[in-house]
A and B are shown apart, each in its own frame.
Chain A
């Protein structure tokens, strides 16, 4: 099934011609396909609890402390390295799923708990908490709709070098810090203004200033330690704050790129543009079950701890999940390589016989509407 507009270079800005095209063709803020789930079942799935996220957050915090303490205690010895690597993943990768789930407000039943974890995780992942709350709202309204979705990871033509660099976070962090500094200086880009309401601009600037101030304090601490003759130990503040987003982000990138990679743009059925895969329990804990990504996009009100149950409820209507990270990468990489040669190509997975067919009429009638 060819669901794509066959063009090589697409304009992913939110204020350009693709954005206007998405609006005029009815792809923006459209009706999406949903699997039928009885109301009683969905009510049960949507139910919020404080217990699971409190347990997971307490463990997350405790492991931060444990691994940081180990890294500092064994400083100067190779034994410190695995402690820092583990700390890096807890900080630089697990932050993304906490940012995401608490941004939706679905993790905790108690709202202030969502907000506290959201702000901590936003800082760790180097995202302005206001900007990204709104960008993610748009991502859910217009998932992988070109010109509308600010969170498209795979932009065509695909630059594989940049994707490989993402695993060490340098470009991403550089971009994030530049945005924070620009926001702290009171400036929002035209793209940001397109999805953040004006009433939220002052808050975006305030939180950017808070984040920049903490990074500045970290830098000062590093310089003070250097000046005090601490030598390599002067790196500890950086390894604790900010640095893990570079050396520990690999798990976030590894799982995040799978969410939509190799799949379709400009469709209105999450089964065509999102990927569900089975993961090992450790990765699922780090990722807060976001491997059930089709399920999450179809029903964003379902908290992460209910996603496995949601998956069991609707899997008859979804493509078979990838069986592992390796299996998903093999599939995605083949599709991405083909996309590089064949603009407009997107992987369309087979549906089980129990599923309702893909709904191409939702997006395939775009040329007629475009006329």
Chain B
């Protein structure tokens, strides 16, 4: 899988996220509290609500509809109603750009 250029690092404030669509799939790219960037599947595993309007707090992203929580570093579902983990994808920052390895 090649690295795909997704956005500029400056596009995402720290402790926030943006939606990123690619190849017919939808993702979120998170600028974590540790300064690193992360990418997960865009839809909550509970009822497929998009996480783009969700809240990033510490190392978790919260679904805007039912408040399910996921660790955006690992995708692990940490609070019901989500019971299934989010898929995560490798991210690298290069020359001020965020690149993601997605299928």
Contacts and interface: CB of A to CB of B under 8 A. Distances in A.
Interface residues of B, number: 17
A104 B16 contact: no
A187 interface: no
Contact of B55 (A29, A46, A111): A46
Contacts of B46: 137
Contact of B80 (A29, A200, A299, A300): A200
Contacts of A104: 67
Main secondary structure of the interface of B (DSSP, over half): loop
Given A29-B47, A104-B67, A134 B55 contact: no
A237 to B, nearest CB: 33
- Quick one: which of B54, B55, B83 has the most chain A CB within 10 A? B55
Among A106, A141, A199, A200, the one with the most B-chain Cβ atoms within 10 Å of its Cβ is: A141
Nearest to B15: A43
Contacts of A301: 54-55, 62, 64, 67
Interface in B11-59: 16, 46-47, 53-55, 57
B83 A141 contact: no
Contacts of A199: 83
Contact of A105 (B16, B47, B54, B79): B79
A163 interface: no
Contacts of A353: none
B93 interface: no
B65 interface: yes
Contacts of A43: 16, 55
Interface of B: 16, 46-47, 53-55, 57, 62, 64-67, 69, 79-81, 83
9 contacts: A29-B47, A39-B16, A42-B53, A104-B67, A105-B79, A137-B66, A137-B80, A137-B81, A301-B55
